Structures are given as structure tokens and as C-alpha cells.
Amino acid sequence: MPGSLGTKLVRGVFRSWFGRSRAATEVDIVYTWVDGNDAEFQRTCRNYALASQPHAAVGEQRFRDSDELRFSLRSLESHVPWAGRVFLVTNGQVPRWLRRDHPRVRLVRHEEIFPDPSHLPTFNSAAIEAHLHRIPGISRYFLYLNDDFFFGRRISPRHYLTRDGRPRLWVDRWQLPFRYSSRDDLALQWFAYSRKLLTDALGRRRFASPAHGPILVDRDAFAEVVSQWSEEFARTSAFRFRVGRMAMPHVLYLHWLAARRGGELAVNSGKQYAFAMFQPPLSSVEAHFHSIRRSRPLCFCINDDWDGDAEVKDSRLRQFLESYFPQPSSFEVSEPDRREQAPLRARPRLDQRPNVAIS
């Protein structure tokens, strides 16, 4: 298909979906990011963890930064030409390599989207996710990504849009669990608790697990979900760390929208979204990388569960990502111009005891 004709068709798809306004045709991109390698962040995290929830999920690998965001942005620029602005939601940290003056980059502090400042600082990704629809100026429809998501090849707007103009919502084949106990893995508890909330609201039915990849969010529909489970969202927002009995915002959003016929569920075959866990043994990691190179899925995630030498993990992951995405993006500061960049806000003082009261 000639390039000009293809561009016209893509624009036509978005006009039919969003309306005629050119400003409304863009789909913004939202990333959540933290530099877990920063010593000040680590001290703050430990300080709050010891004061409030010593049993919570505070594993170092959950926050460790191996420059995944840099390569995710490379994949975005290479394979998602229809993307709009990039909103980077952080606790005030800024990647040293990021071009802060890039015309498409918007830096968003947690303080800008959390209505209750007593919930901050937070180390809970679900709490942050619960407020993404509050980002000032965000487009009606936006793609929400973790920083360890990568676009493996060119992706069309049709991947996220049905023929009748509704969001396409990707799920895996396995169903959300019915039961859980406090002894189960935290992720299992989150999914099972979200299923309970969905069953109470929508009746007993099949609820598939969301695919581990980018999600197209309808800002207004997400606000309806928040209103539907307002108390649960408030509880989740208040947890500084992830715990078992906690609502998962994207799970509730996905199935609420589908039940109201505002979106359509699509089953991931593995060709769309691929998932790799970076965990011992290293030979298993290499096998995952080989599979991704061979199959070139539309999107893939490399999740950090490496409890060994961090330098080994960083080195091997960088080798793989450099080989897959060798071309620097326009979002990166060139090496000769790289310099220290001030944080977006003052960090919390560590000589003050955290004022934490979480039920």
C-alpha cells in the first residue's frame, strides 16, 4: 500500500473514532517510571516500609532500573508512528538521558494526580495507576505502558480499535482465580480479589486475565470505574506498598468496559503479547530472548525477577535490547550533551518519621 494512501486510511480510522477535531485524533502515551537505583529513593522506601508495612512487597527488583524506558521509547518511535505526546509519571525523578525539552514529552509528578497528598510518597504501582486518568491535559484515549513493555514490530491502530470504533482489550486465555488465601502469591491475591469485586458488580461470569502489555484507556470510562468502586480505589491509593487485598484498576476497567459493551475483548495468542521473566537460570532467559527474536511479537515484556548479581542482569538485558533497538530515539540526549538534571520536586526529608496510618 502506498505510504500516502496508508496515512490517509489511518487518519480516517481515527477521525471516525474520535471525531473530526484534529487535536482529538492523537493517542497519548503514558509511562510510569521510577529509578530504583537511586540511593535516596532506596532509603526513603526502606524508611516507610519499616514504619508501616514490613510485610509488603518491597523487593529491590520491583524498582530496579536497567534503562528499560530508554529502549521502550526507541520501540515506540520506531513502531508506533501514530502515537501522540509521551507523559512520564514519576515521583520527581527524571532519567538522565531524557531530553526534557522534547516537544512531545510531558513530565508528571505524583502530586499532580493524587487528590489526597497524605497518600504520598507511594511505592505502589496500583495506587499510581488508579489516578492516571487525572493527568492534566491527557487525551480522551491513551495507551498506558509499564517501562518494561516494548513494541517488537510496527503496530497498527487497528490493534487497539474494533471496526465499529470501540477499544480492543487484550486478555490471556486463563481466567482470574475464584479463591485465594493470605498464603498465596500476591499477584494471585490481587487477581482473585478483583474477580470478587467484578462478580459482586456484574454477576458470576468468565473473567479473563488481562494480557501483560499496553492497554488502551478511555479516560472517561475509567472515571466511571473509579466512581463504581470509589471506596476500593481510595483504599488502594492509600496503600504505600502493594498488599494482597487490593483492587487492580486495569482489571476492573477492562471487564467493566467490556460488560457495558464499550470495548471488545480479544484473546492473546502469544503473537500479540509475549512475556519473559528475567530470573535464574540465565539459560532460560537466553531462551526467552531467542524466542522473542524469532517470533517478533507486536509487544513484549521483560519482567525483572533476578535476585542474583545486578550487573549480570543489566549487562545481558542491555545486550539484548541494544541488538533489538540499536537506533537511538529523538527522546534521548546525545552522549556529549548528557548532564545531571535536577529533580522535578524536592525529595522527602528522611530525618522525619513517616506519618503513616493504613488500615
54-105 pLDDT, tens digit each: 555 555 545 568 899 999 999 999 999 999 999 999 999 999 999 999 999 9
* In the predicted structure, residue 200 carries a pLDDT above the cut 50: yes
CB distance 69 to 332 below 8 Å: no
107 vs 74: CA distance, rounded Å: 18
H/E element, 265 = strand 264-267
Q: What is the pLDDT of residue 311?
A: 87
Q: Which of 31-45, 124-138, 233-247, 274-288 reaches the highest mean pLDDT?
A: 124-138
CB distance 284 to 306 below 8 Å: no
| Higher local confidence (pLDDT), 199 or 180 | 199
Q: Would you place residue 24 in the very low, low, confident or very high pLDDT band (cuts 50, 70, 90)?
A: very low
**Beta-bridge partners for 304:** 278
111: closest CA among 91, 129, 126, 93?
91
Comparing 83-97, 124-138, 182-196, which segment has the lowest mean pLDDT? 182-196
H/E element, 289 = helix 282-295
* In the predicted structure, residue 304 carries a pLDDT above the cut 90: no
CA end-to-end distance (rounded Å), the chain: 58
Q: What is the pLDDT of residue 185?
A: 85
215 vs 220: CA distance, rounded Å: 15
**Beta-bridge partners for 273:** 299
Who contacts 72 (Cβ-Cβ below 8 Å, separation ≥6)?
31, 145, 147, 148, 149, 150, 151
Query: pTM of the full predicted structure?
Result: 0.85
Task: Catalogue all structural domains in the chain, each as residue range(s) with its CATH number.
Answer: 25-326 (3.90.550.10)
Q: How many CB atoms lie within 10 A of CB 180?
A: 19
151-162 pLDDT, tens digit each: 999 999 999 998
pLDDT, the chain, mean: 86
205 vs 184: CA distance, rounded Å: 23
* In the predicted structure, residue 137 carries a pLDDT above the cut 60: yes
247-296 pLDDT, tens digit each: 999 999 999 999 999 999 999 998 999 999 998 889 999 999 999 999 99
200 vs 31: CA distance, rounded Å: 31
**What letter would DSSP give residue 82?**
T
244: closest CA among 257, 253, 235?
235
